[in-house]
Amino acid sequence: MIEKITNLLKKQIVAILLAILCGFIVAAIILSVAGYNPMEAFSALFRGIYSKPKYIANTIIKSTPIILTGLSVAFAFKTGLFNMGAEGQYIMGTIASVTVGVLFDFPPVIQIPLILLAGMVAGALYGAIVGLLKAYFGIHEVITSIMLNWIALYFNNFVVNLKALHKDNTTGTYPINDSGFIVFFDQMKRTKEGQASLKESPFWGEIILRTDFNAGIIFAIIAVILVMLLLKYTSKGYQLKAVGLNMDAAEFAGIPVKKNILQSMLIAGAISGLAGALVITGMSPHKLSILPAFENYGWNGVSVALIAGNSPLGCLFAGLLFGGFLYGGQTVQSEVGAPSEIINIMLGTIVFFVALSKVVVILSEKLEKRGKKHGK
C-alpha cells in the first residue's frame, strides 16, 4: 500500500494536482479571513469560465497567447536555457505585425501569413540576441532577456508615435487592415443579414457575435505539436537537448554548442513572436497602444511553463487553466465582491507549490524507506 502511494506521489501530474489543490486551499483561507464565502467565490469563478458559450470562447481567446509564451519558455528550458524574455519577444512580435498589417493590404491568403511571419521573425531575431550573447560572450540569458524586455516596452511606445503608424488624437496606432484579421466570420457579423443568420444558432451566435473568437487556438495547437515532434523525433531536437543537458559532453561528441544555443533562442523567440502576432490579428483593437507597463503575456508564460513541468503538451492545458482563472476571476469580483487579486494569489500559490514538487518526491522516498524498514 505504501509503495503504491509513493509511486503515485513521484508522478509529475500528481504534484501538479496537489499544487492546484493547495492553491485553492490558500485562496479559501484568505477569502474566509477577508469575510467572503470561499464556496460562493469558487462557484462564481467556474461560472465565469464555463456557464455561457461566450465565457468559454473568451477563456480560449485569453489562453492562446499564454499557451504560446509558455511553450516558448518550456522549449528553451528543455534545451538548457532560461528564456525570461518571452514578454519582450511577444512585444516585438506585436510591433512587427502591426507595422506590416498597417502598411500592406494584400488579400487575406497573403496578408495573414505575412503578418504572422513578420511577428515570428521579429520575435526570433529578438530571441537570437539573447542566444548570441550567451553563446559567444558567456553572458547569462536571464540577465540579457530581462533587460531586453524593457527595451521592447519602450521601443513599442516609440513605434506608436511614428508618423506612418500613429493615429491622430489617440494613444495608439492605426488598426491593421481587415484583410489581416483571423476572427471567425468577421465580415459576416458586420452585416444585418449575417447577424440575423448567426442568431439562428444561440450557441454559435453568442460566441461569434459577442466575442473575438478566432483561429489563434488552432495555431497554438499546431505549434505545440511541432515542438513535440522537433524535440522527440528529430536529430536537431536531440542536439538541442544534448546541449542543454551537458554542453561539454555535447561539444566532445561533435555537436556545435554555440550554433545550437543560438538556434534554441531563435525558435523560442519565434514562438513568443507568434503569440504577439495572433493577438494583433485575432483580438480587438488590432493595434498597438502606449504601454505604461507590461501586458504580462510573457511573464504569465513563465508560470504556465512551470505548471506544465516544461512539457509542450502540458503548456496547452496549463495555459487554458491559467487563462480560465484570469478571465473567470472577473466574475468573482463582480458577483461576490471579492478582489480579483485573490485569483492572482491562487495562481501564485499554484506556481509556488509546483516549484516545490521535488519536495513531494523527497517525502515520498522517505515514506518508502520508512515502509520498507517497518516491513522488516
Q: What is the pLDDT of residue 135?
A: 93
Average pLDDT of 81-91?
96
Residues with Cβ < 8 Å from 204, sequence gap 6 or more? Answer: 53, 198
Q: In 3D, which of 325, 310, 321, 316 has the Cα closest to residue 355?
A: 310
Q: In 3D, which of 3, 88, 144 has the Cα closest to residue 294?
A: 88
Q: What is the pLDDT of residue 332?
A: 83
Is pLDDT larger for residue 138 or for residue 339?
138
Residue with cell 540579457: 144
Of the chain, the percentage scoring pLDDT greater than 70 comes to 91
Residues with Cβ < 8 Å from 153, sequence gap 6 or more? Answer: 88, 91, 291, 293, 294
Q: What is the pLDDT of residue 357?
A: 66
Q: Are 65 and 275 in contact (CB under 8 A)?
A: yes
Q: What would the grid cell of residue 135 be?
A: 553563446
Q: In 3D, which of 218, 271, 219 has the Cα closest to residue 78?
A: 271
Q: What would the grid cell of residue 19 be?
A: 499544487
Per-residue pLDDT band for 362 (boundaries 50, 70, 90) equals: low
Quick: pLDDT tens for 234-287: 999 999 999 988 888 988 889 999 999 999 999 999 999 999 999 999 999 999
Q: Are 148 and 92 in contact (CB under 8 A)?
A: no
Q: What is the pLDDT of residue 364?
A: 62
pLDDT at 21 over 90: no
* Nearest-angstrom CA–CA distance, 326 and 342: 10
Q: In 3D, which of 174, 192, 194 has the Cα closest to residue 184?
A: 194
- Tell me the β-bridge partners of 183: 214
End-to-end CA distance of the chain: 15
Residues with Cβ < 8 Å from 305, sequence gap 6 or more? Answer: 70, 71, 73, 74, 77, 315, 318
* Nearest-angstrom CA–CA distance, 257 and 12: 30
Residues with Cβ < 8 Å from 151, sequence gap 6 or more? Answer: 88
The amino acid present at 166, given as its one-letter code, is H
Q: Are 156 and 287 in contact (CB under 8 A)?
A: no
Residue with cell 513578420: 118
Angle between helices 108-137 and 257-282 (to 10 degrees): 150
* Nearest-angstrom CA–CA distance, 273 and 97: 9
Q: What is the pLDDT of residue 164?
A: 93
Cis peptide before 285 (omega within 30 of 0): yes
